[in-house]
Structure 1
Amino acid sequence: MEAHHPFTEIQIPQQRFYNSIPFPSVLSPNPTTTTTTTAVQCSVSHLIETIKTQKPFLDSLLHKTGAVLIRGFDIKTAKDFNDVVEAFGYEELSYVGSRSPAGRTNVVGRVFTANELPPDQHIGFHHEMSEAPEPPSKLFFFCEVAPTSGGETAIVLSHVVHERIRHKYPEFVEKLEEHGLIYSLLVGADDDHSYIGSRGWKSTFSTEDKSVAEERATKMGIRLEWMVDGGVKRITGPLPVIMYDKSRQQKIWFTNMVGWQVAGNGPCKTITFGDGKLLSADIRCECLKILEEECVAIPWQEGDVLLIDNWTVLHSRRPTNSPRRVLASLCK
């Protein structure tokens, strides 16, 4: 049988290039001349075998670019997506006890909903579970239902963000490196999926017992202050913000400085320097502006799989008013 190169690297209008390296890299099926061969090339089974045989190439590509979009394959269901994720062979990261403010629901295997927030709400740039003792190293996203407009998962390179912010605000970055950040979040007892920061402490810690919640929180590096209304203030940190990526020998911007701006969780209250001092609102806004200026927002197509290196890429969600279903899988 004649051998074909398994992938074709294509360019799309939204890509950016840093030192001639595309961000993200986009892989599609190898173009063929016959309908039958094309169907085979695009099939999930062929993709799975290709991933297994081309794992060193894919790992190298992800390390070089930070994100890889796999587009044009016949991936239709959560089960298909789960099979694709498992083909990569990365160890699964347990989602129990995650501090995601929105929560996730298991769909099949190691596949979860990306979050439970209404699609018309914006989610700011963040590294997944950046406050956790063991954040995931890689994230997979899969578009099952593509919105007709908006709803993109925007991505941005963390080291590029760090360089720009450090150049503009060197003293601010020095203070971040010295003190880190403290995150404080007021949450209720129960979930309310109508806004970000809405995940209650009962589902966060998988218990209705406050003493058990405190024990589990302590293991996760979280302090709890109970409120008279049954809610709790979750306090985490100080946590490092500027990290060093040894494999790429560069500093990265590993934080979410957006804050939750509802239910008493304004950004000025939510995040402070590790010494307790407030962050400048003007500098915070400028940091978010830099993130937006450097990001890539590719409109989803059904069947897309986006693989992200969580150590070097931040992601966010653009709002949409049309139906949207994006699934996720987290890896150690």
Structure 2
Amino acid sequence: MTTATAATTTWTPYEIHPAGLGIDATARALTAHLADTAAVDRLLTEHQALVFRGFGLTPDTLGPVLDLLLRNRLAYVHGNSPRTKVGDNLYTSTEYPAEFTISMHNELSYAESWPTRLAFFCQQAPETGGATPVVDGVRWLESLDPEVREAFAPGVRYTQNLHDGLGLGKSWQDTFETGDRAEVEAYLNGTGADWHWRADGGLHISQLRPATVVHPQTGREVWFNQADQWHPASLGDETAAALAGLLPPEELPQYVTLADGSPIPDAYVLQVRDRGLENAVDVDWATGDLMVIDNMAVGHGRRPFTGPRRVLVAMTD
């Protein structure tokens, strides 16, 4: 544990510029450089997050770059955050009000399967703020008090109540990108989740997932769950917080407990949320920047911002 802590205290994403590579500052040159996919894979494993700056990327030139970095682009199936699909498995980043912070998390860590890497493309940088903070999962885990780590060790149980097109939170149709119940059932039957259709046409899902995982390449244990984001105590949106005070936990659009079903103390989830943000490194955006992260090794979030901001997200297995 001591060695891992020392190795992560100075961690930052690795920035890549045209001059450093000795290539032209163009999307075409970057695409040619990324053709050595094995070298890029090794670099990402070593640094956990890569930031490409100064290549003049645009939505029109982004596709070939993503095809090399994300070789099997995934749909955002079973995703819980609001976002819009804008291309070939390319989405807007979470459409959450600009004045709020999005806390640190690993994408789809609550699901049976999750993407191994994510790419973020800045189509339009905001006037102020709007950084994407990233945090090393080992450092995040080791920053937590022993009693918190012990409580989470058996895992966490996530609960979703997805409406049938009219209600709070996301519908099951939007969540699974289909209106076919049979497709949803086939997906859920392969996840080990407990689920049932509600009388009102909605869908109830409960699933036990780990709180930490061991990275398959590095062998490092990392914090890997979204308990704080699913817990009412950490809601920053006043409307959502008020809703949590009106509805019983089991009726909320999403809720989380400890593995045995007992409530997670508010103090625990607030510690998880706050220490993730405290240990994060902000990646400030310029239009045309691209960041790729190892989704298991690194958590990400969003800082508040002013002015229009458009960051697009894609993922791969």
> Which TM-score applies when normalising by structure 1?
0.79
Deviation for aligned residue 1:225: 4.5
**Structure 2 counterparts to residues 1-332 of structure 1, below 5 A:** 18=7, 22-30=11-19, 41-53=24-36, 55-77=37-59, 79-88=60-69, 90-95=70-75, 97-107=77-87, 109-165=88-144, 168=145, 170-177=146-153, 179-190=154-165, 198-208=169-179, 210=181, 213-227=184-198, 229-236=200-207, 238-260=208-230, 261=232, 262=240, 263-264=243-244, 270-332=255-317
Structure 1: gaps (5+ residues): 1-16, 33-37
Deviation for aligned residue 1:29: 1.1
- What is the rounded CA distance, in whole Å, between the counterparts of 1:198 and 1:318 in structure 2? 22
Counterpart code for 1:28: H
Which secondary structure state, in structure 2, belongs to the residue aligned with residue 41 of structure 1?
Answer: coil
Tell me the residue number matched to 2:235: none
- What is the rounded CA distance, in whole Å, between the counterparts of 2:96 and 2:155 in structure 1? 29
> Which TM-score applies when normalising by structure 2?
0.82
Deviation sequence 1:198-229 (CA, Å, 0-9, x none): 32112223444556544433334433344555
Deviation for aligned residue 1:180: 0.8
8 Å contact 1:82–1:111 — kept in the other structure?
no
- What is the rounded CA distance, in whole Å, between the counterparts of 1:22 and 1:119 in structure 2? 27
- What is the rounded CA distance, in whole Å, between the counterparts of 2:56 and 2:314 in structure 1? 19
- What is the rounded CA distance, in whole Å, between the counterparts of 1:255 and 1:221 in structure 2? 17
Deviation for aligned residue 1:288: 1.5
| Percent identity of paired positions between Structure 1 and Structure 2 | 25
Which secondary structure state, in structure 1, belongs to the residue aligned with residue 213 of structure 2?
Answer: strand
Whose Rg is larger?
Answer: 1
- Higher relative CO (Cα under 8 Å, sequence separation at least 6) belongs to 2
- What is the rounded CA distance, in whole Å, between the counterparts of 2:278 and 2:257 in structure 1? 24
Q: CA separation of 1:191/1:123 partners in 2, compared to 1, >3 Å: closer, same or farther? A: farther
Q: CA separation of 1:243/1:30 partners in 2, compared to 1, >3 Å: closer, same or farther? A: same
Q: CA separation of 1:130/1:273 partners in 2, compared to 1, >3 Å: closer, same or farther? A: same
Give the number of equivalent residue pairs. 297
Counterpart code for 2:159: S
